[in-house]
């Protein structure tokens, strides 16, 4: 089994959300609840306030640096469309896309449109036009999908999709590869709530059970989704969990590949 680590970019600046949605007040309520329940430290609480004032809700550079030092392929899904609490501009997205290209990251689209073929194709064409990337994959924001989503994505020309959450090996839908994934940071640490409900040790034990299940299901690839925003001391449990997970996989001789590398292996 090999591991595919990917990262969804949901936010870039705090100001994206001012007067547009309730993300900022919800974040304030969340961190207060986590502090009062003992899930985060006073230091984390202060650092999150610092993030507000710095207008910084991304840690893309830091995450690429960590991954590159560890020899982990950096695979990012970034949006060119707004929706469901995702509000950054294409100007902001393109600044980071250029950095990702320069540093050898794999780049796919964090999709918003999932149930209308014309809208999906428009999003696909816009991403290709802006990024000058001809073939790429997608993961839907909030992994939204219907029974027809994957076929619609294939119709529009996507090379691969990794929206499905299941313990399955990759499979083809027409010319498109579907890569189900198994582990997401929020599902582990929040555990069905809208705030942190597990500590680091609980998160580790939950993750180990999923890794064991992947082994038992004879999966070729273990898909892991970690959001760049949480690669920060403002979210210490999330940061420590990601570092632990990467080191655990390295210590257990798990090789890392990105989606395009996996496709090359599958199509040999």
**Model confidence pLDDT, tens digit, residues 133-182:** 999 999 999 999 999 999 999 999 999 999 999 999 999 999 999 999 99
Asked if pLDDT for residue 268 goes beyond 90, the answer is: no
Contacts of 206 (CB under 8 A, 6+ apart): 188, 191, 198
pLDDT at 36: 95
- Fill in the DSSP letter of residue 124: H
pLDDT at 144: 98
CA distance 72 to 224: 12
CA distance 100 to 30: 31
- Per the CB < 8 A criterion, the answer to whether 56 and 242 are in contact is no
Asked if pLDDT for residue 49 goes beyond 90, the answer is: yes
What one-character-per-residue DSSP string does 23-47 give? HHHHHHHHHHHHHHTTSS-HHHHHH
pLDDT in tens, 52-93: 999 999 999 999 999 999 999 999 999 999 999 999 999 999
Domains in the chain, CATH or no CATH each: 2-266 (3.20.20.370)
- Per the CB < 8 A criterion, the answer to whether 265 and 77 are in contact is no
CB neighbours of residue 202 within 10 Å: 14
**Mean pLDDT value of segment 112-119:** 98
pLDDT in tens, 17-44: 998 999 999 999 999 999 999 999 999 9
Contacts of 32 (CB under 8 A, 6+ apart): 45
Which candidate, 194, 196, 152, places its Cα nearest to that of 173? 152
Burial of 32 (0-12, 13-18, 19+ CB in 10 A): middle
Contacts of 148 (CB under 8 A, 6+ apart): 115
CA distance 68 to 60: 12
Supply the mean pLDDT for the chain: 97
Q: Which tokens hold the place of 66?
A: 């960590």
- Per the CB < 8 A criterion, the answer to whether 73 and 106 are in contact is yes
- Per the CB < 8 A criterion, the answer to whether 187 and 210 are in contact is no
């Amino acid at each position: 089994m090999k591991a595919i680590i990917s990262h969804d970019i949901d936010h870039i600046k705090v100001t994206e959300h001012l007067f547009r949605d309730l993300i900022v007040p919800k974040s304030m309520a969340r961190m207060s609840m986590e502090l009062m329940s003992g899930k985060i430290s006073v230091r984390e609480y202060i650092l999150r306030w610092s993030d507000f004032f710095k207008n910084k809700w991304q840690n893309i550079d830091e995450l690429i640096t960590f991954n590159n030092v560890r020899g982990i392929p950096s695979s990012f899904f970034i949006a060119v469309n707004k929706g469901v609490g995702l509000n950054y501009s294409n100007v902001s997205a393109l600044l980071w896309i250029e950095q990702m290209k320069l540093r050898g990251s794999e780049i796919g689209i964090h999709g918003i449109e999932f149930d209308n073929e014309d809208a999906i194709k428009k999003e696909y064409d816009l991403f290709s036009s802006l990024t000058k990337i001809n073939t790429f994959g997608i993961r839907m924001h909030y992994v939204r999908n219907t029974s027809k989503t994957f076929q619609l994505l294939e119709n529009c020309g996507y090379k691969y999709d990794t929206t499905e959450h299941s313990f399955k090996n990759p499979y083809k839908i027409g010319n498109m590869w579907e890569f189900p994934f198994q582990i997401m940071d929020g599902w582990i640490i929040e555990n069905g709530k809208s705030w942190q409900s597990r500590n680091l040790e609980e998160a580790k034990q939950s993750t180990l059970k999923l890794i064991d299940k992947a082994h038992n299901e004879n999966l070729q690839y273990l898909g892991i989704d970690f959001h760049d925003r949480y690669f920060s001391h403002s979210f210490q449990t999330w940061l420590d969990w990601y570092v632990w997970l990467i080191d655990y996989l390295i210590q257990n001789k798990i090789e890392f590949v990105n989606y395009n590398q996996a496709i090359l292996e599958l199509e040999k």
